[in-house]
Amino acid sequence: MRPTLFRRLAASSLAVAAVLAAPGPAKPARQPKYGGTLRVEIGAAVTSLDPAVESASAEEAAAKDDIASLLYPRRSSEGTYLGGVGSGPFRVAAWEPGRRVVLAANENFSEGRPFVDWVEIRMGRPARDRLLDVELDHADIAEIPPEEARRASERGVRVSVSLADELVALVFVPGRPIAEDRRAREALSYSIDRSAIVNFILQKQGEPAGGLLPQWSSGAAFLFPTAVSTAEARNLWSEIGGSQAIVLGYDAGDSLEQSIAERIAVDAREAGGSVHVVAVKSGAALASEDARFIRLRMASPNPRDALAQYLSTLGPIVGVSDPAPGTMPQQIYDAERAIVSTYRIVPLVWLPTAYGVGTRVRDWKTPGPGQGWPFADVWLEDAQ
Amino acid sequence: MTFRTKLFVVFMLALLSSVALVAVGVTAVTRRAFQESNRTHSEALVAQFEREFERHKQDIVHRVQGVADAEATVRMAIDLSRPKADVSVYVNDARGVAGSHQLDFLDFVGDDGSIISSNESPARFGYKMDWLAQPQDWASRGAFLTKVDTQDGPALGLMSVSVVRVGDKNLYIFGGEHLGKDFLASLVLPSDMRALLYMNLDGSFQPTDLVDESGPVTDGERFAEFIEPERERPTERAFKIAWTPDAASAELFHVLPLLGRQGELLGALLIGSSAREVVRLERRIIWLAAGVATMGLLLGLLLSWWGAARVTRPVRKLAEGAREVSEGNWSARVEVRGPNEIAQLARAFNRMTEQLSEQRERLVQAERVAAWRELARRLAHELKNPLFPLETTVENLQRAKEQSPEQFEEVFRESTGILLSEIESLKKIVARFSDFAKMPQPEIGPVNLNDTVRGIVKLFESQFGAVGRPPITPELHLEEGLPAIQADEALLRRAIENLVLNAMDAMPAGGVLMLRTTHENGDVDLEVSDTGSGLTPEECDRLFTPYYTTKQHGTGLGLAIVQSVVSDHGGRISVESESGVGTSFHLHLPAKPPVRSPSAVAEEVSSNGE
């Protein structure tokens, strides 16, 4: 295997950048090494790489998207991958649905051969195991829950945290009696202490969300209040009467959703309301819940594209039919406001994506919204 | 009911009363003993609970203090004492620490009362527990009962507070144990007892707030009426619940109120003791007592029967003797044994029968003499009448022979006629007496008394309206369907004719002769009444005595014959008479005359022969 000129140049420039970015006394730039297997662990379990096959969950869809970014050379603005499969930096060498995929470096990749020879992605790994594997150098790159990033970092793990690009929100189920009562939706929104969720549950990873788009994307997030309004909430709850409880469902396999749900229940109780928290099996059909969590990951840093993406999901729920807001900031804000003011969706927090990075990984750059995993650019310190 | 039966019943009643009294007494004493035992058990259990509760309190104080003394807690306190300390890093610490110190509830609370980390309600971080931050000597406070907010709702906790002070900042450690079914399971209870815990967590009694060691109590709503007063006025009290109509299902509960820091009722411990064992033992005792009582009663029954028989035997013999006497056996005697009152009575009875027998002998003798006198008088009277003409005729004959021989033939012819006539009268008189002496034995056959009566009335019809005498009107009241009786019709006819003749004699001035027949159970009654002058009571008493008559020319045998006929048919005759109104004879004739033993007949024949 011989690296292309482009990759060599890129490797040189990355090494220079790493040296420049490193704190403390300047270290001599190191030459990237080729070879080795990059061990990656993710929580999602991808069962099919066929784009035509629909994913069972948003998490699987995101992982599938990330894997696809390694197999295709380019991606359109709409998110469609261009070029043939296998013409990207990697091609599939081994495939065990839901468990493991091994990618081999594409010697003929137009932008240069990746540094690593192989990428082994183990799927469906529990968060605790992923974190331990990174700590013990059994994995090179592992997705870790954002709320664990701080503790992991304190334990000496290299942690890479992206911009907050995943919205966690509550969605009221249309047709449920209490969900149809705007006062209840509004009261619940006023009751929630989003800052406490970010500071305590997320361990200061992420941002309180009042709108659908983060501040770094739309620049207008500050216009959507996130502070708790206990007095207003109490008034609304008292208007509704305490006999009815909002049944809030959370994914039984998602500890973060559970923690947030329990906090929301406490906040509602303190404000005079009543929220009953129930665990729902992942992907299960809505049964008795009045509201449940929704997690929306931005497919693009462009606010218009991200909002359009959200509307395609939320439109039927919130009753907004226009899937394509204008490009002007005001138009985007108005569209966002129109959705949020229905209180049918209650934004809670913005989550970043956190990765634990092994000690031998070099030139890792945290991917942004819409960007795939940059495995083609990393190299391993101990590669032969 | 015989005297023996009465005596037996009295004995039995006395025995039953005694057994019942003993049974009631034993049952009451047993029940009281069991209740006392039960109460002692409950008190022991309450004392055990109080000791266990106190031990738990001490243990919890030590464990919470152990958390406070842990290095990690001290480091946390030091960290939090710094300006702008970040409390969020400790948000999950309570969970791990609680587990390592075996505490159900644990909260790290900051100096301002804000919850930093909570094990039982991890989502309550940031909220305040102001009362905890109030100045108080928590070290001497010990453990206390309080309501704790958990994720699943409020719960009862036996809690303690320890304080870690760094600089001027306090870190409060509020931890303890859940007071619930696990706590109940830790109590060691006898098999027939159970402990329930009521948690006063709602505005009113909810059955789900009452738990035993396995969870909410079945039929918890049954406790509402007993828990509500406890909620209003907490105090130790006891109550009983009967789960089913069976007394064994009853359960006695002792209530121990559990108070919070400020004396408010947070819960109550209910120590329940099942009445099953007590009732089972009571029933066993009752059954045993019933068995013993039954055996006693049976034995008493036999002894009473034997005793009553023994006591009443002399009395029964006395009664038998009296009955024999009443049946005419004047020689009846009663066996006398011992000196008691019954023996004295028997002796008196024997003396009485002896005296009666002697008096009867004397009376019979006197009556016999009187009868003979009467017979002599009657015979003299009857015979005197024909004797006088005989004497006169014979004298006339003698006189005619001596004084008028020429007329003697004529006188002789007339005199012999008179003599023959008078001799005939004498023969008739003798025949009547002879007839009475030789009453024939009845020849039994079916007789319709109505027909007999009608025949007799028809026979006497001419005499009732005979010329020269005031008329007698016969009235017949003969019941239709009168059954035939077994009797000798000829004898009956003779008896009834005598009665009719008597009645006609009693009505020289005419009147009404009434004959009435009735029947009942096959027996037949005949009433023959006249409207004559009536009889005196003395006359009525002697009316059936042979040779007694109230008439100038009667033989005194008519009614004696009637009585004899009726007696031969196993019937009876009585007379009712009222002076100036009339006399009624009542004949009762059985459907069939009794069979008379040959010896009785022979005796009667022999007596008649005498």
- Residue B64's H or E segment, with its range, is helix B3-69
Residues of A in contact with B150 (CB under 8 A): none
> Tell me, what's the pLDDT at A283?
64
> In CATH, what number does B70-179 get?
3.30.450
pTM of the model: 0.61
What are B391's two structure tokens? 């004497």
| Interface ipTM above 0.95 | no
Helix and strand element counts for chain B (H, E): 15, 18
A313 lies within 8 A of chain B by CB? no
Give residue A32's pLDDT. Answer: 87
List chain B residues with CB under 8 Å of A277.
Answer: 151
Which whole number is the average pLDDT over B39-56? 79
Q: What is the pLDDT of residues A25-37, one digit of tens each?
A: 445 556 888 999 9
- Taking contacts as CB-CB distances below 8 angstroms, the residues of chain B near A199 are 88
Q: CA-CA distance, B321 to B334, in Å (whole number)? A: 6
How far is C-alpha B190 from the geometric centre of its chain's CA atoms? Answer: 46
User: Which residues in chain A are closer than 8 Å to B86, comparing Cβ atoms?
Assistant: 204
Bridge-based pairing of strands B511-520 and B472-478 is: parallel
d(C-alpha B364, C-alpha B370), whole Å: 9
pLDDT, greater one: A5 or A107: A107
Encoded amino acid at B235, one letter: T
Instruction: For chain B, give every domain's residue range.
Output: 70-179, 182-274, 341-435, 442-609
**Chain A residues touching residue B124 (CB < 8 angstroms):** 266
* The pLDDT of residue B311 is above 60: yes
Spatial separation of the C-alpha atoms in residues B304 and B9, rounded to whole Å: 8
What pLDDT sits at residue A26?
47
Instruction: Please state which of the ranges A116-125, A189-198, B194-203 shows the lowest mean pLDDT.
Output: B194-203
Q: Poorest-confidence range of A6-15, B207-216, B430-439?
A: A6-15
Residue A152 pLDDT > 70, yes or no? Answer: yes
Q: pLDDT per residue over A277-295, tens digit each?
A: 999 887 666 668 899 999 8
- Given this chain, do its domains B182-274 and B442-609 carry the same CATH topology? no
Q: What is the pLDDT of residue A285?
A: 63
Q: What is the CA radius of gyration of chain A?
A: 22
Asked if the model's pLDDT at residue B372 lies above 80, the reply is no
Q: Which residues of B make CB contacts under 8 Å with A?
A: 86, 88-89, 91, 121-127, 151
DSSP 8-state symbol, A41: E
Residue A35 C-alpha, separation from nearest chain B C-alpha, in angstroms: 40
Topology adopted by domain B442-609: Heat Shock Protein 90 (3.30.565)
Q: Which of A51-65, A224-238, A304-318, A370-384 has the lowest mean pLDDT?
A: A304-318
**A152 against B281, higher pLDDT:** A152
A201, B91: Cβ pair inside 8 Å? Answer: yes
| Contacts B122 to A, Cβ<8 Å | 259, 262
Q: What pLDDT is recorded for position A261?
A: 95
Contact A266 B89 (CB under 8 A): no
With contact defined as beta carbons under 8 Å apart, do B397 and B412 qualify? yes
| Predicted confidence band of residue A301 (pLDDT cuts 50, 70, 90) | confident
Label residue A40 exposed, middle or buried (CB < 10 Å: 0-12, 13-18, 19+): buried
Mean pLDDT of B65-77: 93
For residue A259, which residues of chain B lie inside 8 Å, CB to CB?
Answer: 122-123
pLDDT of the residue at A78: 67
A128: nearest Cα among A115, A144, A139: A144
CB-based contact A203 B122, cutoff 8 Å? no
Verify whether the Cβ–Cβ distance A262 to B126 is below 8 Å.
no
Distance CA A243, CA A69 (A): 51
Question: Is the CB of residue A230 less than 8 Å away from at least one CB of chain B?
Answer: no
Nearest to B126 among A200, A259, A277 (CB): A200
Separation in Å, CA of A225 to nearest CA in chain B: 20
Position B24 pLDDT exceeds 70:
yes
Whole-number pLDDT of residue B114: 93
Nearest-CA distance from B154 to chain A in Å? 12
Sequence-distant (≥ 6) Cβ neighbours of residue A188 within 8 angstroms: A170, A233, A246, A264, A268, A273, A275, A291, A346
Residue B313 clears pLDDT 90, i.e. is over it: no
Q: Under a CB-based contact definition with an 8 Å cutoff, are residues B513 and B500 in contact?
A: yes
Q: Is A107 on the interface with B (CB under 8 A)?
A: no
Contact list, A263 vs chain B (CB under 8 Å): 123
Does residue A21 carry a pLDDT above 70?
no
Question: Taking 80 as the threshold, does the pLDDT of residue B383 lie above it?
Answer: no
Whether pLDDT at A14 is above 60: no
In a mutagenesis test of the B interface, which of A197, A200, A263 is the best target, namely the one with the most B β-carbons within 10 Å?
A: A200
- Cβ–Cβ below 8 Å for A203 and B124: no
Domains of chain A (ranges; CATH) run 5-162+353-380 (3.40.190.10), 166-351 (3.10.105.10)
In the structure encoding, which two tokens stand for residue B370, read together? 């009187």
Closest CA to A167 of A380, A347, A368, A384: A347
> Comparing C-alpha atoms, which of A170, A48, A154 is closest to residue A99?
A48
| Closest-CA distance of chain A to residue B123, Å | 4
Q: What is the pLDDT of residue A324?
A: 62
Q: Is B339 exposed, middle or buried (0-12, 13-18, 19+ CB in 10 A)?
A: exposed
Query: A350 or B381: whose pLDDT is higher?
Result: A350
Quote the percentage of chain A above a pLDDT of 70.
87
**Over A184-219, what HEC string results?**
HHHHHHHHCCHHHHHHHHCCCCCEECCCCCCHHHHC
- Minimal Cβ distance to A263: which of B88, B89, B123: B123
Q: What are the pLDDT digits (tens) for A74-118?
A: 877 666 777 777 789 999 999 999 999 999 999 989 888 999 999
Between B175 and B28, the higher pLDDT residue: B175
**Would you call B88 and A203 a contact, using CB atoms and an 8 Å cutoff?**
yes
CATH architecture, domain B182-274: 2-Layer Sandwich (3.30)
Beta carbons within 8 Å of A67's beta carbon, 6+ residues apart: A46, A49, A101, A103, A121
Rounded CA separation B349/B322 (Å): 8
pLDDT band for position B609 (cuts 50, 70, 90): very low
- Residue B367 to residues A211, B361, B563, Cα–Cα distance (Å): 148, 10, 18
Query: Is A29:A13 a contact under the CB 8 Å cutoff?
Result: no
The size of the A-B interface in CB pairs under 8 A is: 32
Q: Determine phi and psi for A6, rounding to 5 degrees.
A: -60, -50
> Residue A334 corresponds to which amino acid?
D
Contact at CB, B125 and A200, closer than 8 angstroms: yes
The percent of residues in chain B predicted with pLDDT above 70, rounded, is 95
Split at pLDDT 50, 70, 90, the class of A126 is: very high
Write out pLDDT tens, residues B122-155.
999 999 998 888 888 888 888 999 999 888 888 8
Q: What is the mean pLDDT of chain A?
A: 85
CA–CA separation, B51 vs B49, rounded Å? 5
Residue A141: the pLDDT is 96
Q: Which residue has the higher pLDDT, B534 or A384?
A: B534
Give how far B232 is from chain A: nearest CA, Å. 25
Phi and psi torsions of B478, nearest 5°: -100, 120
Residues shown for chain A: 384
Quick: pLDDT tens for B491-524. Answer: 888 889 889 988 888 888 889 999 999 998 889 9
Answer for the pair A166, A260: CB distance below 8 angstroms, yes or no: no
For A284, phi then psi, to 5°, come to -70, 155
3-state secondary structure B366-404: HHHHHHHHHHHHHHHHHHHHHHHHHHHHHHHHHHHHHHC
- Which of B89, B91, B122 comes nearest A262 by C-beta? B122
